[in-house]
Amino acid sequence: MEKIDLSRITLRPFKLEDADDFLLFAGDDQVTRYLRWKTLTSKEEALEHIKDVCINHPWRRSICIDDRSIGFVSIFPFSGDDRCRANFGFGVAVKYWGHGIATKAVKMAVPQFFVDFPHVVRLEAFVDVDNKASQKVVEKAGFQKEGMLRKYAYHKGRLTDFVVYSFLSSDLPIVEA
């Protein structure tokens, strides 16, 4: 496996020009297996998703290598009485699994989000109990495992257990391992 220089990883807002790269991971069932959205099947769907979801999202960033989109980090702040919390998620193209890219991107995203949304004090990540790789990523990035939510939600037609993790603004700075 070729080692990837993690200093080449950047986060930036999505742009319509990312459609072809976006489709490479958003069109892969292995990547979308644990995501709430369906696998995309065309460049048109990728463009629509970028335009309607990614660009309009309060805090969704493209994970890039040399400015080419290879994944995403999504943090959605709640409102009202829940405005202290935000939901956290991410995904990376299969060819980049196992290189530390997701962990690096999460470690980059978390402190920036807390700067951009200073009223949020808690990030929450709900990870499918079967998604061991994502559990490892959030743990390496400093999220604390809080427990398992049994039969918590339907995901793609299956009633699923989720492991819940949190990261508090007071947990900063993230210590590099």
Token reading at 135:
């559990």
Domain that holds residue 77: 6-121
Is residue 103 assigned to a domain? Answer: yes
Compute the distance between CA of residue 60 and CA of residue 50 in angstroms, rounded to an integer: 10
Is residue 144 assigned to a domain? Answer: no
Residue 174 confidence class, pLDDT cut points 50, 70, 90: confident
Which residues is 91 bridged to in the sheet? Answer: 72
CATH number, domain at 24? 3.40.630.30
Query: Whole-structure pTM over 0.85, yes or no?
Result: yes
How much is the pLDDT for 37?
85
Render pLDDT for 13-50 as a digit per residue (tens, 0 to 9).
999 999 999 999 999 999 999 998 899 999 999 999 99
Number of domains in the chain: 1
Is residue 161 assigned to a domain? Answer: no
How much is the pLDDT for 1?
62
Is residue 27 assigned to a domain? Answer: yes
Cα-Cα-Cα-Cα dihedral sign, residues 56, 102, 109, 66: negative
Is residue 158 assigned to a domain? Answer: no
